[in-house]
Amino acid sequence: MRRVSILLILLLAASPAWSGAWLRDKGAAFVSTAVTAFKEPDYGYDYKGSFYAEYGLREKLTLGLDVEEHRDIYGHALVFARLPVAEFEKSGRFAAEIAIGAHHRQMRAWALYKATLSYGKGFQTGWGNGWIAIDAALEFRTHDAVYRKLDLTAGLSSPRLINPLLQIETAYQSDHPLHWRIKPSIMIRTKDSPTTWVLGLERNDARKNTGIRLAIWNTF
C-alpha cells in the first residue's frame, strides 16, 4: 500500500496527450493505436486492439472516433463530439461529450449511445508537469442496459524520456458486480518528437492473468 500511495502521489502531482476534459486546438489532431495480448492457459494468446482519434474542428468543438475490437468476438465503434462546459483556470475544467455508434457480439450488432462529463486539472510538481482526468459516463446499449462508467487517468509529462501513466476504468450495471480495469504504463518519447510509445500492463476482473499492452500516440 505504501508503494501504491507513492505512485499515486507522483501521478496526481501534470497537459495530457488526450483526455475528455481538454479540447484539441483548431486544426490539431491526435491518433492512438494499441494492442493488448493475454497468455491463455489452454490455447496460445488472446488479444484486443483499439484505435482512437481526435481532431479540433473548431476552437470549441473536437470530433473523434473510438474503436475497440476483442478479436472478432465483440467490440464497439463510436463517433463523438466534445464541447467545453466550464473553465476554472487553476482549479480545472469541465467538458461534455456525446457519442453514437454500435456494439457487436460476433455477427450481431446493436446501437450504442454514450454521454460523458469530464473533469481535468493540470499540476506543477518537482517531477514536471502532470494531469489528472475523471470521466463519468452513461452508456446505453440497446440490446442490453445502461452502464454507469467512472474512469480516472493520471500521468506526468515532463521532458524526460520516460514518464508514468495510470488508467483505471470501472463500469456498473444494475444488479451486476462492478467491472474494473487497471492499466499502469510508462510513456516513452524523445525530445521534440510527435510520437509517444506507451508500454504497460492490463489487469481486469474478468481474468486471472495480466496482459501486456503496447500503444503508439501521434500528434499532428
Instruction: Give the model confidence (pLDDT) of 92-114 as tens digits.
Output: 999 999 999 999 998 899 999 99
Rg over CA atoms, the chain: 17
Residue 178's φ and ψ, nearest 5 degrees, are -70, 135
Q: Give the separation between CA 193 and CA 172, rounded to whole angstroms.
A: 38
Instruction: Give the model confidence (pLDDT) of 149-180 as tens digits.
Output: 999 999 998 888 999 999 999 999 988 899 99
Domain 2-219 bears CATH identifier 2.40.160.40: yes
pLDDT of residue 10: 33
The one-letter amino acid code at 112 reads L
Residue 143, pLDDT above cutoff 90: no
Instruction: Give the model confidence (pLDDT) of 39-63 as tens digits.
Output: 877 767 888 999 999 999 999 999 9
Q: If pLDDT is split at 50, 70 and 90, which confidence band does 19 have?
A: low
Instruction: Provide the 3-class DSSP secondary structure of residue 204.
Output: strand
Residue 7, pLDDT above cutoff 50: no
Residue 5, pLDDT above cutoff 60: no
Q: Kindly state the percentage of the chain with pLDDT values over 90.
A: 64
pLDDT of residue 11: 34
Q: Would you list the DSSP string of 4-40?
A: HHHHHHHHH----SS-TTSPPPTT-EEEEEEEEEEE-
CA angle centred on 215, ends 212 and 220, rounded to 5°: 175
For the chain, strand residue ranges (E) read 29-39, 45-58, 61-70, 74-87, 93-105, 108-125, 128-141, 146-156, 162-172, 179-188, 195-204, 211-219
Domain ranges across the chain? 2-219
Burial class of 42 by CB neighbour count within 10 A (0 to 12, 13 to 18, 19+) = exposed
Buried b or exposed e, range 6-31, using 16+ CB within 10 angstroms = eeeebbbbbebbbbbbbbbeeeebbb
pTM metric for this prediction: 0.86
Q: Give the separation between CA 49 and CA 106, rounded to whole angstroms.
A: 15
Residue 91's φ and ψ, nearest 5 degrees, are -85, 0
Q: Give the separation between CA 16 and CA 24, rounded to whole angstroms.
A: 11
Which whole number is the average pLDDT over 199-215? 90
